[in-house]
Amino acid sequence: MNTSSILTIKDLKFGWLKSQPLTIEIEALNINKGDRVFLKGPSGSGKSTLLGLITGINQPSSGSINILGKELTSLKGSARDHFRADHLGYIFQQFNLLPYLSVTENVTLPCFFSAQRKQKALASSASLEQEAKRLLDHLEIPSRLVNRKVTELSIGQQQRVAAARALIGKPEFIIADEPTSSLDSDARESFIKLLFNECVETDISLLFVSHDAGLQRLFDHHLDLPSINLASQGGD
């Protein structure tokens, strides 16, 4: 295992049913620590399925998924859940914010599932609320909004709240799944630059997944899923 790697995949195969063709078949994929990688692919190329495998939600039929030196396929369900909570931040396409919680409460949520991320957050600020506000400030959320319900925010603001939630507690690896699909082009670039700044400041690796090839130029590293997924005719 390369010590500079954050993610190494080898001979990965996955299919939803044994009687159907494989959805994912990837011989090799590697992302190094500190990389900010753009993964593109149209609907049906297996993006969502691959992310489910990388995060341990789904288990492969065969092959290896190694994150931070830990072989994910060897962990039992609860151990995978703990590993994901400690080390992975996730920005969902639909943001998945809890409407009955305030902006700050949504951001601090991961720290209640991971003692490790809570400890890291408290090493940066005197309280979880202060750390949330610090991140929100960096992501250009006005302080007057931090105690509002997230439903009172614009789509672009909700997206940055979702990013702050993924960033809190400095997980080593963030996965962003089509997080800019509901924004116009200027807002997309602004969001990505803010996200880059936070990742650089805290040495977080980023896998950014999108079908929008126009965003690729913002990234130093690119992956084309249909090119690396031998089973690219499978469903997403």
pLDDT for position 74: 93
Instruction: Tell if the pTM clears 0.85, that is, is over it.
Output: yes
- DSSP sequence for 137-174: HHTT--GGGTTSBGGGS-HHHHHHHHHHHHHTT--SEE
For residues 211 and 178, the answer to whether their CB atoms sit within 8 Å is yes
Q: What is the pLDDT along the chain (236 residues), one digit of tens a residue?
A: 456 899 999 999 999 888 888 999 999 999 999 999 999 988 778 888 999 999 999 999 999 999 999 999 999 989 999 999 999 999 998 899 999 999 999 999 999 999 999 999 999 999 999 999 999 999 999 999 999 999 999 999 999 999 999 999 999 999 999 988 888 888 899 999 999 999 999 999 999 999 888 899 999 899 999 999 998 744 45
Residue of 37, 39, 35 lying closest to 24 (CA atoms) = 39
Q: Hey, what CATH class is 5-228 in? A: alpha beta
Interatomic CA distance for residues 54 and 66, integer angstroms: 9
Map out the domains of the chain as residue ranges: 5-228
- What lies within 8 Å, CB to CB, of 186 at 6+ separation is none
For residues 23 and 46, the answer to whether their CB atoms sit within 8 Å is yes
Q: What single-letter DSSP state applies at residue 211?
A: S
Instruction: List Cα–Cα distances, 80 to 50, 77, 122, in angstroms.
Output: 16, 5, 24
- What lies within 8 Å, CB to CB, of 146 at 6+ separation is 102, 103, 104, 132, 133, 136
pLDDT for position 234: 43
